[in-house]
Amino acid sequence: MGLQQSKSRALFQRAAKVMPLGVNSNFRYWGPDDTLIFRRGEGAYVWDADDRRYIDYRLAFGPVILGHAYPAVLDRVRQALESSNLFAGTTPAEVEVAERIVRLCKVDKVRLTSSGTEATMHALRLARAYTGREKFIKFEGNYHGQADYFMFSTATSPAGALGSARSPVPAPSTSGIPKGMHGYVITLPFNDLERLEERVEAVWGDLAAIIVEPIMGNSCAVMPRPGWLEKLRELCDRYRIVLIFDEVKTGFRIAKGGAQEYFGVQADLVSYAKALGNGFPIAAFAGKEGIMRTIEAGGVAHAGTYSGNAVGTAAALATLDLLENEPVLETIRQRGQMLMSGIGEVLRDAGLPHSVQGSPAMFGILLGSDQTPSDYRDCLQGDAALYKRITFALAERGVLAEPDFLEAWYLSYSHSEQDVAETLTALEQAVRAAK
Ligand code: PMP
């Protein structure tokens, strides 16, 4: 018996006949008996096809910063649809979204896209065009979307494929990537200053970019060590390399101005997506005038039929309005802190070695050791099987967190103190059941 009850099971079986794995994004697949079908969301809750309610900490993998079906966002989207949904041209809403991003994130220029993958892909292209170099550094366990260039040593790569920490090997995260792609990417462990400096000094002449998730949003929310992001900035300045912050998860979530504001380090280019539209399809890449101007000179192509669509821009305007005018992130921070420390207590009382890290808006839990992880290799030492059993036991008790231990827990403005308290009670029981 899995998590599916009768209606989820029937719908999943129909889905599996017409969609590979029965899902439209591989990360959503929890196995043939456990992949749920969701019918409805409201605030901090989602309901599955059998009408079971869950407190949701997956939040669509991060975007739902305000809450599901948030009225102010839905109203703005409905209103926007009164005057159509897409043009082959710029709308006032696009101008306003770009102006807001410029103001909040202290960037010079913005281009809107529809997904995080498009945003990171174009950022890398700009970096190459700007520097005239082709290679880039990415960090093990960071995920930057589905473009072939980035699908190496992501959070699906097994430890044995990564090579030694001294001399890492880029491990393909999927079949179907041309062999040549391998030659463009250099993978390194996150937070390893010495290794980073050594590699950059050896190959800087070929390096267009260093791309980084400032918090490892796809690997247990591992935090940057003090000085790590500053070192990236310093090396990029010294060798004229473009520093790209992939803020698809951190943007508009850990601070209004994202990781740049949170850590006080400014990148050259930044990608945004998820929380920008509370779950509606809108994303962006943005950055410094000189680099973004490579588009304006007509040299670099960026296009997207759905870029700046009415639904995404309306959702972004409503979301940013709330972020600016209500204590959204402060509330999330307070509830997130309660949850993080409560989880720590439950695990401690149960005698389970663990570490809880990240920002209260987006944090990770690693079981099996009391050591705070500092890179993806540390994360892989965690007890994935026990974590999965706990999350399944939680789901049975009406709380949804991702069973993949590498994925973060997300909070929204709609999660109440009562939700946090219920979650902790469910966790106590789930831990007992899973042990
Ligand atoms: N970058 C990061 C850091 C992400 O977490 C993701 C998605 N999880 C992406 C890029 C890709 O975004 P999308 O799924 O919208 O293409």
Instruction: Tell me what pLDDT residue 158 has.
Output: 87
Q: Is the dihedral of CA 286, 287, 293, 295 positive or negative?
A: negative
Q: Which residues of the chain have pLDDT under 70?
A: none
Strand partners, 242: 209
Closest by CA position to 137, among listed 241, 217, 285: 241
Cβ neighbours around 32 below 10 Å, total: 14
Q: What is the pTM of this model?
A: 0.98
Nearest CA to ligand 1 atom 13: 116
Cβ neighbours around 433 below 10 Å, total: 14
Instruction: Tell me what pLDDT residue 212 has.
Output: 99
CA of 116 to the centre of ligand 1 (A): 5
Structural domains of the chain in order of their starting residue, each with its CATH number = 37-69+327-434 (3.90.1150.10), 71-325 (3.40.640.10)
Instruction: Tell me what pLDDT residue 296 has.
Output: 84
Question: What does the mean pLDDT of the chain come to?
Answer: 97
| 247 CA closest ligand 1 atom index | 3
Pocket test for ligand 1, best of 59, 173, 248 (most atoms within 8 A of CB): 248
Pocket test for ligand 1, best of 23, 24, 113, 117 (most atoms within 8 A of CB): 117
CA of 146 to the centre of ligand 1 (A): 8
Any alpha helices (H) in 226-327, and if so which ranges?
Answer: 228-239, 258-263, 289-296, 310-325
Q: What angle do CA 179, 182, 184 make, to 5 degrees?
A: 125
CA of 296 to the centre of ligand 1 (A): 26
Q: What is the pLDDT of residues 313-360, one digit of tens each?
A: 999 999 999 999 999 999 999 999 999 999 999 999 999 999 999 999
End-to-end CA distance of the chain: 19
CA of 1 to the centre of ligand 1 (A): 32
Nearest CA to ligand 1 atom 9: 145
Nearest CA to ligand 1 atom 6: 145
Let me know if 33 is a catalytic residue.
Answer: no
Closest by CA position to 211, among listed 186, 193, 176: 186
Let me know if 383 is a catalytic residue.
Answer: no
Single out the catalytic residue among 56, 246, 268, 378.
Answer: 246
Single out the catalytic residue among 274, 375, 387, 419.
Answer: 274
Nearest CA to ligand 1 atom 14: 116
Instruction: Tell me what pLDDT residue 433 has.
Output: 97
130 contacts: CB under 8 Å, gap ≥ 6: 208, 242, 290, 291, 294
Instruction: Tell me what pLDDT residue 255 has.
Output: 98
**DSSP SS3 for 231:** helix
Let me know if 192 is a catalytic residue.
Answer: no
Nearest CA to ligand 1 atom 11: 145
CA of 432 to the centre of ligand 1 (A): 34
CA of 25 to the centre of ligand 1 (A): 12
Q: Please list every protein residue whose CB sits less than 6 Å from any atom of ligand 1.
A: 61, 115-117, 120, 143-145, 213, 217-218, 246, 248-249, 273
CA of 216 to the centre of ligand 1 (A): 12
Closest by CA position to 409, among listed 344, 322, 351: 344
Pocket test for ligand 1, best of 23, 28, 61, 120 (most atoms within 8 A of CB): 120
Q: What is the pLDDT of residues 73-126, one digit of tens each?
A: 999 999 999 998 999 999 999 999 999 999 999 999 999 999 999 999 999 999
The single-letter code of the amino acid at 42 is E
